[in-house]
């Protein structure tokens, strides 16, 4: 007999718990699923017996008994390389798992190209109840996933507010505020040629950051420049080379839409012989651990992706349980100033910004 088979054979069952507690199997099921009809004293005795025997629920049995999969889906419409390199998804998933592990849930992670493949993926997840709900990330303009997921009868939570009618609750953060804070910091340092290395314009959070950048730069008397990327470090490096090739018209500061593009830009600038921050200031977004430990350390907009994941998970579980749900607004982003920003080279009287957290 294999080890797995031996463990399965040795696992206590509801029958064992019922025998140990001196009650029926049905009463044990009611108590373990927190259903009414069980006295407090009996419930405590059953739970004590389950703990003493080391009983744990069988996910398969639970799924069959309540017509649920106990699985939730996350479909990411980005390239594998971008997903692997982007620390946001790692932290977000860690936050989700912190809630799922306690709730006996499983996360089904899938990558799909936006379009027919993506739609087929959602239909496949809904078929035979493979998942009970999904997280909708990287919202797009006129996002047709909202109607599709609703049509499929799945519960859902959106990361951010869509620009179309949605029956689903949203967990969001004010991305625009984070970008505005970074631009205002650079304007205070005397920068007037400021560029933004943005994400894809069809993604709502990327376009909102770009709009916030243009508005803040214009309000501060700066000349805004926006270069679109796919959020990858490779494309961030490409955008940086494009900006630095402008010669005397090159920006004196660059606001990146995530930290790993900022790190790639830092490398490009240094290879080009520029000193960061004396010749060029840069800021990132997400305040990842690596941003603090590179040299120079990166000034970055701090958000809490793990908390985002945990709160999204709790909201989705509540929606599946048909509990009242409302949109959740996360804490406002804050700028963590480090070594990568300083006075503009063409504004010698501007004060150097002290590093702060």
CATH number for the domain harbouring residue 27: 1.10.260.40
On whether residue 350 sits in a domain, the answer given is: no
Residues 233 and 269 in one domain: yes
Q: What is the pLDDT of residue 8?
A: 43
Residues 317 and 287 in one domain: no
On whether residue 166 sits in a domain, the answer given is: yes
- The tokens for 34 are 């927190």
Q: Domains in the chain: how many in total?
A: 3
Residues 230 and 278 in one domain: yes
**Which residues have CB under 8 Å from 30's CB, separation 6+?**
36, 37, 38
Q: Collect the ranges in the chain with pLDDT lower than 70.
A: 1-11, 29, 33-37, 55-69, 348-357
Residues 204 and 236 in one domain: yes
Last residue of a domain, one of 302, 318, 342: 302
On whether residue 351 sits in a domain, the answer given is: no
Residues 85 and 231 in one domain: no
Q: What is the pLDDT of residue 346?
A: 79
CA 145/CA 70 separation, integer angstroms: 22
CATH number for the domain harbouring residue 231: 3.40.50.2300
Residues 200 and 295 in one domain: yes
Closest C-alpha among 21, 291, 332 to residue 181: 332
Residues 169 and 75 in one domain: yes
Question: Could you tell me which residues are beta bridge partners of residue 159?
Answer: 171
Asked whether the whole model's pTM tops 0.75, one would answer: yes
- Residue 48's domain comprises 3-56
Question: How far is CA 321 from each of CA 7, 20, 206, 316, rounded to the nearest angstrom?
Answer: 31, 31, 32, 9
SS3 at position 302: strand
Pair type for strands 106-111 and 71-76: parallel
Pair type for strands 328-329 and 170-172: parallel
On whether residue 311 sits in a domain, the answer given is: yes
Closest C-alpha among 258, 277, 282 to residue 333: 258
Closest C-alpha among 333, 69, 4 to residue 175: 333
Residues 139 and 254 in one domain: no
- What distance, in Å, lies between the first and last C-alpha atoms of the chain? 57
Q: What is the pLDDT of residue 115?
A: 85
Residues 292 and 226 in one domain: yes
On whether residue 349 sits in a domain, the answer given is: no
**Which residues have CB under 8 Å from 318's CB, separation 6+?**
324, 325
Residues 35 and 8 in one domain: yes
Residues 179 and 279 in one domain: yes
Q: How many CB atoms lie within 10 A of CB 80?
A: 9
On whether residue 63 sits in a domain, the answer given is: no
Residues 30 and 88 in one domain: no
Question: Could you tell me which residues are beta bridge partners of residue 283?
Answer: 255, 299
Q: 33-87, pLDDT tens digit by residue?
A: 666 667 888 888 888 888 888 766 654 445 444 455 678 889 988 877 777 777 7
On whether residue 328 sits in a domain, the answer given is: yes
Last residue of a domain, one of 284, 302, 320: 302
CA 282/CA 284 separation, integer angstroms: 7
On whether residue 32 sits in a domain, the answer given is: yes
- DSSP run (H or E) holding 74: strand 71-76
CA 229/CA 262 separation, integer angstroms: 12
Half-sphere exposure of residue 231: CA atoms within 13 angstroms, side-chain side: 27
């Amino acid at each position: 007999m294999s080890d797995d088979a031996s463990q399965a054979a040795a696992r206590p069952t509801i029958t064992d718990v019922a025998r140990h507690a001196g009650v029926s199997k049905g009463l044990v099921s009611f108590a373990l699923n927190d259903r009414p009809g069980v006295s407090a004293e009996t419930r405590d005795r059953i739970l004590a017996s389950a703990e003493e025997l080391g009983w744990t629920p069988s996910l398969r049995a639970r799924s069959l008994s309540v017509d649920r999969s106990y699985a939730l889906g996350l479909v990411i419409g980005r390239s594998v390389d971008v997903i692997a390199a982007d620390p946001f998804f790692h932290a977000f998933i860690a936050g989700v798992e912190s809630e799922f592990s306690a709730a006996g849930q499983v996360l089904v992670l899938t990558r799909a190209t936006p379009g027919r493949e993506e739609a087929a993926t959602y239909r496949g997840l809904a078929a035979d109840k493979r998942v009970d709900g999904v997280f909708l990330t990287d919202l797009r303009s006129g996002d047709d996933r909202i109607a599709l997921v609703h049509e499929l009868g799945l519960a859902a939570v959106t990361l951010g507010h869509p620009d179309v009618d949605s029956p689903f609750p949203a967990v969001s953060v004010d991305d625009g505020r984070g970008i505005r804070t970074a631009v205002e910091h650079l304007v205070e340092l005397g920068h007037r040629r400021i560029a933004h290395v943005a994400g894809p314009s069809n993604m709502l959070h990327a376009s909102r950051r770009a709009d916030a950048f243009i508005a803040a730069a214009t309000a501060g008397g700066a000349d805004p420049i926006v270069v679109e990327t796919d959020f990858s470090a490779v494309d961030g490096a490409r955008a940086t080379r494009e900006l630095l090739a402008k010669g005397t018209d090159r920006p004196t500061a660059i606001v990146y839409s995530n930290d790993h593009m900022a790190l790639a830009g830092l490398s490009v600038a240094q290879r080009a012989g520029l000193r960061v921050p004396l010749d060029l200031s840069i800021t990132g977004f997400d305040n990842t651990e690596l941003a603090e430990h590179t040299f120079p350390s990166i000034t970055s907009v701090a958000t809490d992706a793990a908390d985002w994941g945990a709160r999204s998970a709790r909201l989705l579980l509540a929606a599946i349980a048909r509990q009242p749900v409302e949109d959740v607004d996360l804490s406002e982003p804050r700028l963590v100033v480090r070594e990568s920003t300083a006075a503009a080279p063409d504004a010698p009287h501007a004060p150097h910004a002290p590093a702060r957290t």
